Amino acid sequence: MVLAAGLGLRMRPLTETTAKPLLMLDGRSLLDRALDRLDSIGVENAVVNAHWHADQVAAAVARRDSPHIALQREDLLLETGGGVTRALPRLGPDPFAVLNGDSVVLDGPTPALARMAAIFDPEQMDGLLLVVRTAQVDGEVGRGDFHLDPLGRVRRPKELELAPYIFSGVQILTPALFEGAPAGPFSLNRLYDRAIAAGRLYALVHDGIWFHLSTPADLERAEASMQAGLVRALF
């Protein structure tokens, strides 16, 4: 699933007339980059949700040949948790990938989703997040998102504690994570916290590049990096 329904408030004025996932980076939309990632590892069916400028998102997915996309229009913005919960019947009984439509992850030596799939164990995990070292992020990361233990289990930072990792917007989740999920809008963070308490939320550290795209300045920096050949130089 690709989450493409957000309002993109911090990216204004660019998102006043355009859905944030349809903004362009180095000649390709952020949404197409996410769908390309799924297509490249053999994903045949995907769900894309849409709320803000939903007609634009619908037109964009209609232009693609693969993967096959089911558009989920949300008249009420369901947030991340509500959006995925509504899509569960289309996502099936097995673990599935969820990507933020405005997150750009560029692979290191091995595709990130392939690395994640190789270590994902539904017997131990309700979710596996791809995280990035905050020290490697060009842009504002706040206090970070997570700590990891030696096995990769996730915990939240304590009060006034800095966390060394930030969530990239790429994850593998199981339907079991959503058992008892509330109806209507809610954040996936509610389900993360429950999985953390049960010791069933894990993370993998990304070995490539992640562009933190929250503001127009972030997008400008990412565009400059791509145009300068930074990614080709590193990989």
Q: How confident is the model at residue 139 (pLDDT cuts 50, 70, 90)?
A: low
171/142 Cα distance (integer angstroms) = 21
Cα–Cα nearest to 4, from 65, 63, 56: 56
pLDDT tens-digit map of 79-120: 999 999 999 999 999 999 999 999 899 998 899 999 999 999
How many structural domains comprise the chain?
A: 1
Question: CA geometry: angle at 69 spanning 176 and 65, to 5°?
Answer: 145
pLDDT tens-digit map of 179-224: 999 989 999 999 999 999 999 999 999 999 998 898 999 999 899 8
Specify the CATH number for the domain of residue 115. Answer: 3.90.550.10
| Domain with 206 in it | 2-234
